[in-house]
Amino acid sequence: MVFGPPNKKNPSPAGISQVTLESMDYLLALDQGTTSSRAIAFDSHGRVAALAQREFAQHFPKPGWVEHDAAEIWSTQLEVARECLQKLSAEHGAAYGSVKVRAIGITNQRETTVLWERATGRPVARAIVWQDRRTTPRCEALRAAGKAGLIQRKTGLVLDSYFSATKLEWLLEHVPGVRARAEAGELAFGTVDSWLIWNLTGGQVHATDASNASRTLLMDIRTLQWDDELLHLFNIPRAVLPRIVPSSGIVGEVLPKWLGEPIPIAGVAGDQQAATFGQACFGVGMAKNTYGTGCFMLMNTGTAAVTSRNRLLSTVGWQGPEEGGERRTAYCLEGSVFMAGATIQWLRDGLGIIDSAAEVEALAASVPDTGDAFLVPAFTGLGAPDWDGRARGTLVGLTRGTTRAHIARAALEAIALQSADLFGAMTRDAGIALTELRVDGGASRNDLLMQMQADFLGVPVVRPKITETTALGAAYLAGLAIGVWSGGAAITQQWSVDRRFEPGLTEPARRACLDRWREAVARSRGWAEESP
């Protein structure tokens, strides 16, 4: 089910018909990620009709700090949207603007924090990225003050610098004159979805959806409202906050000057929630893992927020379109790995042992194993289930026989092993044995990595034919809002398998590898404790 179990107002979707788009009508998904902005046009069958992508600069002003130029995020996102529509028109042999875009869906890197002037739309500072660790000491101080329990009860999140609240608090405290202007209502805060909506609508709409709001440490995930006690705790003036809107529903219209016509913005969701939706994980207990800059595993827990006992996150999955006078909210358990595809980028840009990310699979496959070398890519700390902001990247088990191929293989194994940690924690929290894992994201096309993942999980890994599920989820949410699809059954029918990876390790061998991995993680976490 999409939004919850059947009831009188939300009947079983069996037999739901699909409203098709006209032959030249499409849905446009704006997929704003950590390292690039993308735009993808989908047809009514969920197929990619056109795609454009552009990378943008990463800024690392101090160790542990990660920043983006929010103006560059906007400019690259607009450029790829226009390029995508041009490609779509060219595909049809039509003039630009003659191909109809029925609605836009937005999906975005979450937690990244933007603060801008309402009058001019100019950011007051660079955006602080979700990977940024500068507020780790603030989180530790709040934890020492006994606030972690309160925060988890209200938000479903752990107290960590990963989330937006301490990033926004830092900007208010450290950018000269900003706090007074914020309190006077002159400034606007938002995650990247809010920033794009603001620019697309010419400043007419300041909004965020419930899935993104649930990642700020400022929203009560049960009431879906900004919480006064949390705002007071982080000293955040309510005047800077966006309005919280459903994930599926018309939020506003794009100004005609941007894309040629006033297209409705009808779907908004954080990237990982959108990917879960795009994977058709509508049933309780269904799980997916996205392999992007980081790895993000989400499991649908239905219409109730489940409190994790294993340091996972409880988060809003999506709030659906209105049905029978009410909206259904789906919740998820989530585990986050901070360094996945970014680890491969480090092999390329930091070590220089590959020239392109595409080379890593062949290089790693040139050796049968890592030679007992383990890479723990804690370059920005560790996410779930360890949540250690002071852990540092560690490469252990090296010998004179270790080659760049062994390190490349250890990097791929690190991605799969971190995800195996999440899978184990999720299984314990859910109280059920998960029988498969659906996968997506760029690195899911790496067959060696997917086989490693199945081996370390001990269950099949299933890759769909369409792996652009983050953007697809945004398109589905937008399409539901305007009647292109009428429910989850129509979307589920479009999901199909590309390849199924079966586990190949014996259980003793799998267990031994996981134990060895946890020894390496302990070394990573102990580094800060042992440093002078």
Backbone angles phi, psi at 287, to 5 degrees: -135, 150
357-362-367-373 Cα dihedral, nearest 10 degrees: 10
111 marked ligand binding residue: yes
Beta-bridge partners for 51: 40
Are the C-beta atoms of residues 438 and 423 closer than 8 Å to each other?
no
446 marked ligand binding residue: yes
110 marked ligand binding residue: yes
Backbone angles phi, psi at 322, to 5 degrees: -70, 130
Per the structure block, which two tokens stand in for 16? 């739901």
341 marked ligand binding residue: yes
Are the C-beta atoms of residues 177 and 199 closer than 8 Å to each other?
no
Backbone angles phi, psi at 497, to 5 degrees: -85, 135
CB count in 10 Å sphere of residue 49: 19
Per the structure block, which two tokens stand in for 384? 């779930």
Residue type at position 129: V
Backbone angles phi, psi at 128, to 5 degrees: -90, 120
SS (H, E, C) 294-312: CEEEEEEEECCCCCCCCCC
336 marked ligand binding residue: no
Q: How far is CA 422 from CA 146, 196, 335, 509, 511, in A?
A: 26, 31, 6, 19, 15
Per the structure block, which two tokens stand in for 438? 């659906």
Backbone angles phi, psi at 56, to 5 degrees: -135, 170
Distance CA 357, CA 341 (A): 9
Q: Which residues contact 256 (CB under 8 A, 6 or more apart)?
A: 262
Q: What is the DSSP letter of 103?
A: E
Q: How far is CA 527 from CA 188, 378, 391, in A?
A: 39, 11, 7
Three-class SS state of 404: helix
451 marked ligand binding residue: no
516 marked ligand binding residue: no
Distance CA 520, CA 394 (A): 8
162 marked ligand binding residue: yes
109 marked ligand binding residue: no
Distance CA 241, CA 220 (A): 14
26 marked ligand binding residue: no
271 marked ligand binding residue: yes
93 marked ligand binding residue: no
Distance CA 129, CA 163 (A): 9
195-196-198-201 Cα dihedral, nearest 10 degrees: 180
442 marked ligand binding residue: yes
492 marked ligand binding residue: no
Q: Tell me the HSE value of 284 on the side-chain side, using a 13 A CA sphere.
A: 13
Among 315, 72, 275, residue whose Cα is nearest residue 192: 72
Are the C-beta atoms of residues 279 and 491 closer than 8 Å to each other?
no
Are the C-beta atoms of residues 375 and 408 closer than 8 Å to each other?
no
Residue corresponding to tokens 């404790």: 529
Per the structure block, which two tokens stand in for 128? 């602080």
Binding residues for ATP: 34-36, 293, 341, 345, 442
Binding residues for glycerol: 110-111, 162, 271-272
Binding residues for sn-glycerol 3-phosphate: 34, 110-111, 162, 271
Binding residues for ADP: 34, 38, 293, 341, 442, 446
Binding residues: 34-36, 38, 110-111, 162, 271-272, 293, 341, 345, 442, 446
